[in-house]
Structure 1
Amino acid sequence: MKPVTNGIQATSIEGAVWRKSRRSNPSGNCVELAVLSDGGVAVRNSRFTSGPALVYTRDEMVAFVQGAKDGDFDDLIAGH
């Protein structure tokens, strides 16, 4: 089994079950996530599923999701 590290080809992650948000738009412009066996989370571009995946720890993902819920990134989509 290959170690799962940042930049790994997403299709190389054994046993990954990828999912995307229900809020994904119809043209597929979103990211997909997969929980890893060590509890980490891999993220890939849904339009380039064989491309690289970024890997985050559970704590990093918790911080990101909480920041999104708190509105920390709202300025990135202002006027969208």
Structure 2
Amino acid sequence: MRNYGNGVPASSIEGAAWHKARASDAVGNCVEVAKLGNGDVAMRNSRHPDGPALVFTRAEVEAFLQGARGGEFDSVTI
């Protein structure tokens, strides 16, 4: 089982099944995620599917999601 580092070309992640949120816009602007075989999670920009992927551990993703659900990032304006 291969471990991938941050910045690896997303297209080089073998067997990745990328998932896009249903809330993504009509032109595909979204972050896509793929669960890796070792439990890590890769993320890529859907506009650049061959571009770099960020790879996070399961614990890092869980902490981020918990923070997002808890409003910790509400101060970030879009």
Paired residue total: 78
Q: Which runs of 5+ in 2 are unaligned?
A: none
Q: Is the 8 A contact 1:2 1:13 kept in 2?
A: no
Task: Using the TM superposition, name which of 2-11 and 45-54 deviates more.
Answer: 2-11
1:15 and 2:4 aligned: no
Q: CA offsets, 1:28-58, max 9 Å, x none?
A: 2210000000000000000000000000000
1:38 and 2:38 aligned: yes
Q: CA offsets, 1:7-37, max 9 Å, x none?
A: 1000000000000111111122210000000
What's the C-alpha RMSD, in Å, of the aligned pairs? 1.4
Question: TM-score scaled to structure 1, two decimals?
Answer: 0.89
Question: Where is the helix percentage greater, Structure 1 or Structure 2?
Answer: 1
The structural deviation recorded for 1:76 is 1.2
- SS for the counterpart of 2:75 is helix
> Which stretches of structure 1, 4 residues or more, deviate above 2 A after TM superposition?
none
Q: Which residue of 2 aligns with 1:28?
A: 28
- SS for the counterpart of 1:66 is helix
Identity %: 55
Question: TM-score scaled to structure 2, two decimals?
Answer: 0.91
